[in-house]
């Protein structure tokens, strides 16, 4: 942290990003401690119970080492099959991350950091990640730092977000986006791996990047979103009935634009919408950006 103060003394503009520790809802140690391979889903469910416990007790000063023992004693039988050391390690990691983020927020408050992009990686509605984010938001709002700190789902794209914001600030330019959702009736649904409605994530990504949403924006962003998330993983898309006319209309809408065009392919998880790609390959078109993966970061990348 001290090096940031030294850099600021040299009039350096500082943009930072950090991430709230992820809580995957599945068993996999690919990006987690080894024990997540066996107890990941169980620990994720326990963390949701703990988040509800925190909310019900309206605890403002978050300190896991003080609060956790009481929670565990009240749920001893429910979680007795989880090795105690795993529980302690999981919450120790979270509390450390939580406290570091608070220190970074204070750096913004002191004027050392110019902008902070605080993102939530793998999370879900009602998760402890979302609860922690809400606590950070309260602090940010109380300090009047809402224009200097953005808190939203994402992670992989955050460097591009900061670069975009820096360039917009440098050239005093605010790009404008017109949004077109393929399924506007579904924008209030919460996508997998996230804890907030799709429309909120998109809005926050655009704002964090230094841009704005306008009815007739200079950039046309088409979001190929899903009607629901019952079969959201890309491996299931062959089981979904395809509406050929819908895809023809998507391509027609894009080809009819004379503006910069971006496509966020967020219909399926962890891969592209094959039908959209097939249709696109048979058209002679000039699209600026196409990014498929179905995570919040893909919206962020397609914006930048």
Per-residue pLDDT of 256-297, as tens digits, reads: 888 998 889 999 888 888 888 888 877 766 655 666 655 444
Is 161 a domain residue? no
Which range of 2-6, 112-116, 246-250 scores highest in mean pLDDT? It is: 112-116
Range of the domain at 15: 1-153
- For residue 132, pLDDT over 90 is answered with yes
Same domain, 12 and 124: yes
Q: pLDDT, tens digit, for every residue of 60-114?
A: 667 787 888 999 999 988 999 999 999 999 999 999 999 999 999 999 999 999 9
Least confident of 3-7, 20-24, 181-185, 275-279: 275-279
Give the count of domains, the chain: 2
Is 117 a domain residue? yes
Same domain, 44 and 180: no
Same domain, 148 and 173: no
Beta bridge partner(s), residue 151: 118
Q: Which residue has the higher pLDDT, 205 or 239?
A: 205
According to DSSP H, which parts of the chain are helical? 2-9, 36-57, 64-74, 76-79, 84-109, 128-142, 158-170, 198-208, 244-255, 274-281, 296-303
Is 163 a domain residue? no
Same domain, 130 and 260: no
Predicted pLDDT of residue 229: 84
Is 93 a domain residue? yes
- For residue 44, pLDDT over 60 is answered with yes
Same domain, 115 and 70: yes
Is 162 a domain residue? no
Same domain, 9 and 137: yes
Same domain, 204 and 146: no
Q: Which residue has the higher pLDDT, 177 or 154?
A: 177
Please give the Cα distance from 48 to 193 (Å, whole number).
14
Q: By CB neighbour count within 10 A (0-12 exposed, 13-18 middle, 19+ buried), where does 33 fall?
A: middle
Under the banding of pLDDT at 50, 70 and 90, the label for residue 255 is confident
- Residues 62/24/116/178 CA torsion (nearest 10 deg): -130
Same domain, 120 and 195: no
Predicted pLDDT of residue 296: 47
Q: How far is CA 129 from CA 12, 126, 137, in A?
A: 32, 8, 12
């Amino acid at each position: 942290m001290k090096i940031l103060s030294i850099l600021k003394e040299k009039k350096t503009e500082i943009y930072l990003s950090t991430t709230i520790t992820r809580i995957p809802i599945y068993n996999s140690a690919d990006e987690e401690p080894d024990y997540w391979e066996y107890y990941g889903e169980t620990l994720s469910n326990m963390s949701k119970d703990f988040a509800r416990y925190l909310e019900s007790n309206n605890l403002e000063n978050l300190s896991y080492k003080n609060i956790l023992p009481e929670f565990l004693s009240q749920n001893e039988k429910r979680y007795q099959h989880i090795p105690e050391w795993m529980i302690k390690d999981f919450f120790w990691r979270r509390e450390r991350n939580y406290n570091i983020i608070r220190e970074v927020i204070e750096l913004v408050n002191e004027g050392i950091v110019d902008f902070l992009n605080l993102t939530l990686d793998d999370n879900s509605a009602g998760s402890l990640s979302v609860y922690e984010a809400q606590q950070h938001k309260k602090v940010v709002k109380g300090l009047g730092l809402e224009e200097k700190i953005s808190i939203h789902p994402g992670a992989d794209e955050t460097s591009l977000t900061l670069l975009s914001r820096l360039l917009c600030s440098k050239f005093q330019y605010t790009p404008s986006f017109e949004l077109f959702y393929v399924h506007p009736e579904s924008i209030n649904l919460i996508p997998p791996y996230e804890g907030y409605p799709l429309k909120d994530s998109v809005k926050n990504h655009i704002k964090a990047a230094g841009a704005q949403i306008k009815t007739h924006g200079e950039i046309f962003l088409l979001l190929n979103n899903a009607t629901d998330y019952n079969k959201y993983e890309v491996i299931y898309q062959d089981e979904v009935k395809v509406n050929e006319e819908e895809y023809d209309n998507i391509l027609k809408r894009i080809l009819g634009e004379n503006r910069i065009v971006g496509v966020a392919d967020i219909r399926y998880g962890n891969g592209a919408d094959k039908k959209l790609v097939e249709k696109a390959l048979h058209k002679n078109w000039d699209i600026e950006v196409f990014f498929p993966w179905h995570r919040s970061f893909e919206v962020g990348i397609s914006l930048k």
